[in-house]
Amino acid sequence: MYKRRVLARCRFPAPLRRDLLKMRVLPLLAAFLLAATGAAAAQVPMPLPRPDRAAAAPTPVARTAPPARPAERGPPQASGPARSDMTPDDENEDDAPCTDLLASGIAEVELNASISGRSGSALCGDIAPVRITAVLLEGGGKVELRPAAVARCEMAHEFARWVREDLVRSIRPLKTGLKRIEIAASYHCRPRNNIAGARLSEHGLANAIDVGALQLDNGQRIAIVDPKAPQYLFAEMRLSTCKRFTTVLGPGSDAAHHDHVHLDLAKRRGGYRLCQWSHAEWLIP
């Protein structure tokens, strides 16, 4: 039966199939047919396995942030009285007030060494302050400062101009001259009003001078809180100082300035100025 199936697959003519059945070549023929069938089956392409859905899903591409842009350089922050990042133009600009003061010839000044200090977390000082000992008057003579005031050049220059152009003229109705100004404070590394934790005072930046009293040529001493002093003098002093300085704090402003007048050139947003010297207001025109 097996032999007959093999011969049927080969489609031999009937007489030849009968002869082959009698011969011994049939096993060889069967082996040949099986080998040929296997080779043909190997050549048939097999279908690819069904892809796994999870593996076929596209892998999300991680989006990386764009490279950070370099931070814009803001105005240099004060890191102390000595600045290493200053360009020659910056140094020339800072030196201009000192050049103007020295060239004006209106004051006796000495160039002071750089001053620095720390008040809490704030840095004090100035890179090129001056020590002003006297203001030179028109036509000769001078007004001494006791003790000498240490301040940055711009503040020292404006103070000298105020004494020379305004204060001396306010003294003239008294029929005497101005001999000396008692300086209550100048550079001092401390917080405002000496209150711990407060912002740095303008004194800590060498940008303020306090006046405590005036000594006249006739020997009279006029304290800022002297009740017997001519009130018109304080009124004129208030008027002239508030025009020149950005901050004026005198008696009546607060308890810390009850016995002197504070003058500074603090720079504020919008050009805001502070003028508080209340006990002389009633005589202001």
> Would you say 148 and 225 are in contact if contact means Cβ atoms under 8 Å apart?
no
Q: What does the pLDDT read at residue 231?
A: 84
pLDDT reported for residue 112: 86
Is residue 95 over pLDDT 90? no
Same domain flag for 25 and 130: no
pLDDT in tens, 5-46: 554 555 556 665 565 555 555 455 555 555 555 544 445 455
Computed over every residue of the chain, the mean pLDDT equals: 77
Would 61 be classed as within a structural domain? no
Instruction: Please give the model's pTM, rounded to 2 decimal places.
Output: 0.65
Residues 95-110 have a mean pLDDT of 88
Q: What range does the domain containing 277 cover? A: 95-283
The reply to whether 27 and 105 lie within a common domain is no
Asked if the structure places residue 201 within a domain, the reply is yes
Q: Does residue 82 sit within a domain?
A: no
Burial class, 171, CB count within 10 angstroms (exposed 0-12 / middle 13-18 / buried 19+): buried
Q: Domains in the chain: how many in total?
A: 2
CA distance 268 to 67: 38
Does any domain span residue 54?
no
Same domain, 180 and 263: yes
Same domain, 107 and 19: no
Domain co-membership, 129 together with 30: no
pLDDT one-digit tens code per residue, 212-241: 999 999 999 999 998 888 889 999 999 999
